[in-house]
Amino acid sequence: MTDLLLRDALLPGRTALTDLLVSGGRVAAEGTGLPSGPQEIDLGGRLVLPAFVDAHCHLDKTLWGGPWVPNTAGPRLQDKIDYTRTRRGEFGVASADRIEALLRHVVSLGTTRVRTHTDVSPEFGLQGFHAVREAAERLAGHVTVEQVAFPQYGMLTNPGTAELMAEALRTGLAQVVGGIDPAGLERDPVRHLDVVFGLAAEHGVPVDLHLHDRGTLGAWEYDLIIERTLATGMRGRVTIGHGYALGDADPARQTEIARGLAEAEISVVTCAAHSDPVLPILTLRDAGANLAAGNDGIRDLWSPYGDGDMLARAHRIAERAELYADAEIELALAAATHGGARALGLPAHGPTVGSVADLVVVEARTQAEAVMSRPARTLVLFEGTVVAQ
Ligand SMILES: [Zn+2]
């Protein structure tokens, strides 16, 4: 790995330009007038950000890069579930080629770390895991992809699913155990968490649960997950995706839950998709709870929406959360960078000395400007290697 000198870089929060020396996959030095190396890139005063982390997506379902597939699913939730479950084979889902096309696209937009929730169900077994793994292997050295064993169609309510999740974890196809609506879908929250946390303990993996349940039911499930995390010594290894109920709760209850999340070091991931509630970003910050961001579905059988761009996602989160001050807009960007890395248990990355050199360079002067303008990405580095330019 040759050293790379990035000349005339603008770092977040600064006004004066500097140089960055990238060596051994890390940012090794920073300062003006660093000596020239064998490889040098003039950034021309552009802003250097930490590369993006998509902490919640569904690569296995994507149709990206293929011919347009008209969505003919009905309007109800059950229609969408049936459609994605029964017609995936007809549209070639999951496809390593489609997933590879999407991964190439997101890397070009500055994403270098991905956690994806891969469907598990007896009708199609672990097919999605093999497709995602194959695509990720083709993109090795550009992006890392972590797979969650995700019971999209239920676990207790879909016999055979828990056994397949265990198989995915045992064989290393999945690195994280998932879960879904312990009460609303599964109708037995205690037993659902018994199985999910049991699999986590057995295989030594983190937990990442989808929680769509709304209102007081969903808020109560937050309590259950916080309690379970503390009781099982899983502090720092649990993530809740969507978690709309936290957006529904009144301010006092939001604070109470956010403090519980901080104590248990549970990360929450917001996608700000559709009209669903965004999480209370300022309350989470005040409580010291970690917020990450993700794209959720990207042009798939479930939804034709999504473009894979985490900077656009940060913009969407900021707008939906009604963040106006630059310092608040920066929180939405942090969710798409450092917050995601923390949720995934990754070491610090970004343009600070000693950090992993996963970087993205944009035509902007400040972080808030980058979020609002969503400018082109002129350079992307993965562990110090140029992966898009
Ligand atoms: Zn999801």
| Amino acid 208: pLDDT | 98
| Amino acid 1: pLDDT | 60
How far is ligand 1, taken at its centre, from the CA of residue 271, in Å?
Answer: 9
Q: Which residues surround ligand 1, an ion (CB under 5 A)?
A: 296
How far is ligand 1, taken at its centre, from the CA of residue 46, in Å?
Answer: 34
How far is ligand 1, taken at its centre, from the CA of residue 224, in Å?
Answer: 20
| Amino acid 130: pLDDT | 98
| Amino acid 33: pLDDT | 84
Residue among 361, 374, 381 at smallest CA distance from 311: 374
Query: Could you give the CA distance from residue 64 to residue 52 in angstroms, rounded to a whole number?
Result: 19
How far is ligand 1, taken at its centre, from the CA of residue 211, in Å?
Answer: 9
Query: Could you give the CA distance from residue 383 to residue 310 in angstroms, rounded to a whole number?
Result: 19
Percent of all residues in the chain with a pLDDT value above 70, rounded to a whole number: 100
31-37 own/partner pairs: CB under 8 Å, 24+ apart: 34/5, 36/5, 37/2, 37/3, 37/4, 37/5
How far is ligand 1, taken at its centre, from the CA of residue 331, in Å?
Answer: 21
How far is ligand 1, taken at its centre, from the CA of residue 54, in Å?
Answer: 12
Distances (CA, A) of 88 to 62, 85, 165: 10, 6, 19
How far is ligand 1, taken at its centre, from the CA of residue 365, in Å?
Answer: 33
Percent of all residues in the chain with a pLDDT value above 90, rounded to a whole number: 91
How far is ligand 1, taken at its centre, from the CA of residue 255, in Å?
Answer: 24
Tokens of 136: 């990720």
Q: Whole-prediction pTM value? A: 0.97
| Amino acid 49: pLDDT | 98
Return phi, psi of residue 140, to 5°.
Answer: -60, 140
Beta-ladder partners of 76? none
Q: Which residues of the chain have pLDDT under 70?
A: 1
Residue among 66, 62, 56, 67 at smallest CA distance from 84: 62
SS3 18: strand
